[in-house]
Structure 1
Amino acid sequence: MKSIKRRNFIKTAVLGSLASVFATKTHANMVTPTDAQGPFYPITPQKDKDADLTHVKGRSGTAKGQIIEIYGQVLDQDMNPIEDVTIDLWQANTFGKYHHPHDDSEAPIDENFQSWAILQSGKHGKFRFKTVMPGAYPLHSSDQRTPHIHFKVTKYGYESLLTQLYFPDQALNKTDGLYNRKNKDQQALMTAKKTKMDNVLHYDIILAKV
């Protein structure tokens, strides 16, 4: 059963990558747009920064919330894959709480949620990570941010990228101030794409050469 599920995932990943190449050609010479870093870049030391944010090493629990997987490629503007790119990502937990001492909202911290990861793009520029759908924040605010994941993407020879990944079909996308500063093409580049597999999303990152 597991092998069938794995084969289905690989098939979806391949199809998604091909679809991404054709879709991205409509954004010729565009790079993934920049976005605000936000106030909660991680500052608390953390040993576990691997690609599975749903578990913390040394703990037996699983993060609360909807578990999702995100995969994609890092590409240059000519759609060539870029290997060995550092992808630094962080996000709120399912309750909309950042594991950060300056996040003073009433939302609870989930001690089983890793909250921060640092990955390297591999062969063909590919990356993949497992996490939970981030909650909106701040809690009980009339001006909530739509769910998103923060990224810092760096490699020598390319312009560093600070951006945010957004999710499709989120009601708060319509009112989110940062998201709506972008035009439709920029929003398309920043929004993860659904795949044929439940809770699996596809997201490519396009960098500019220095």
Structure 2
Amino acid sequence: MRKVPKVPDSRRYLLGALAGFTLASRWGGALARTLLPATPAQTSGPFYPKLRPLDQDMDLTVVAGRPGRAKGQVIHVTGRVLDSNGKPVPGARIELWQANAGGRYDHPDDINPEPLDPNFQGFATQLTDAEGRYRFKTIKPGAYPMNPANPVNVRPPHIHLDVVAADQHLVTQMYFPGEKLNSQDRIFNAIKGSKDTVIARVIAPTPDIEPGASLLHFDIVLA
């Protein structure tokens, strides 16, 4: 009977290592493809509300007890809070604050000469549902100079978001697509990696959206 030659230990180890490397690479690549890029952290800025409004519901276009509506283009911002594997994060607390349509915050340190809007809530908070979903109705904030006395650097329209879920905490900003000021903004340009992670997408309005309003989708991925 012909003897089957033995594979040297070194060669057997090499073949096993290569097979393991191939398998690990295949699975590693598959796992890497499933991970979502985390939403980058950004500064909360100097205008986080010092005095929160009594009305903090999801509709910022009206203030409880006032008959008017906020000035500006009405937008609905919807999305989900997800983990890096794409799983929804239920019960995450989201705080939202922003400037009004004139680019003015309801904050004592904002020296922007644009007037305040008494019908604009400016701040809201809610918890994500069982599917990690959230939704706010607001207005598109106006751009504003970082220093009104020297209006060279103008911040693009953006919305601040503070997200807390279990032991995770993220402060970020949502930007609008197609804004020329985005590429000129120092805070926006400081983002490492893809900047698409902080730009909302305009999607087709649902039947419950009022005429003239826009619907934007913005997912928040926690690292």
Structure 1, 48-57 or 138-147: larger mean CA deviation: 138-147
Q: Quote the offset at 1:171 in angstroms.
A: 1.2
Match of 1:144 in 2: 154
Verify the 8 A CA contact 2:156 2:182 in the aligned structure 1. Answer: yes
Runs of 4+ in 1 over 6 A off after TM superposition: none
Superposed, which structure 2 residues align to 1:50-69 within 5 Å? 50-69=57-76
Residues 139-162 of structure 1, C-alpha deviation per residue, up to 9 Å, x if partnerless?
A: 5712110110011100113x2001
Aligned to 1:166: 175
- Measured in 1, the distance between the counterparts of 2:142 and 2:33 equals 31
SS at match of 1:188: helix
In the TM superposition, residue 184 of structure 1 has moved relative to its aligned partner by: 5.2
* 1:136 CA displacement: 0.6
Aligned residue for 2:102? 95
Any stretches of 5+ residues in structure 1 without a counterpart?
1-24
Q: Give the distance between the partners of 1:125 and 1:58, measured in 2 at CA.
A: 31
> Structure 1 residue 33 and structure 2 residue 48: aligned?
no
* Secondary structure class of the residue paired with 1:151: strand
1:191 aligns with 2:199: yes
Read off the aligned partner of 2:156 and give its amino acid letter: T
The alignment's TM-score, normalised by the length of structure 2, stands at 0.78
Q: Does 1:178 align with 2:187?
A: yes
> Does residue 112 of structure 1 match 2:112?
no
| Superposition pairs of residues 7-18 of structure 1, within 5 angstroms | none
Does the 8 A contact of 2:100 with 2:116 survive in 1? Answer: yes
Q: Distance in 2 between matches of 1:104 and 1:156?
A: 36
Structure 2 gaps, min length 5: 1-31, 206-212
Equivalents in 1 of 2:130, 2:52: separation in Å?
29
Q: Give the whole-Å Cα distance in 2 for the aligned partners of 1:28 and 1:155.
A: 19
Which protein is bigger by CA-based radius of gyration? 2
- Which residue matches 1:10? none
Q: CA RMSD in A?
A: 1.6
Q: Give 1:180 shift.
A: 1.0
- Mapped partners of 2:76, 2:65: distance in 1: 22
- Distance (whole Å) between structure 1 residues aligned to residue 33 and residue 156 of structure 2: 26
- Partners of 2:191 and 2:221 in 1: CA distance: 16
**Sequence identity (%):** 42
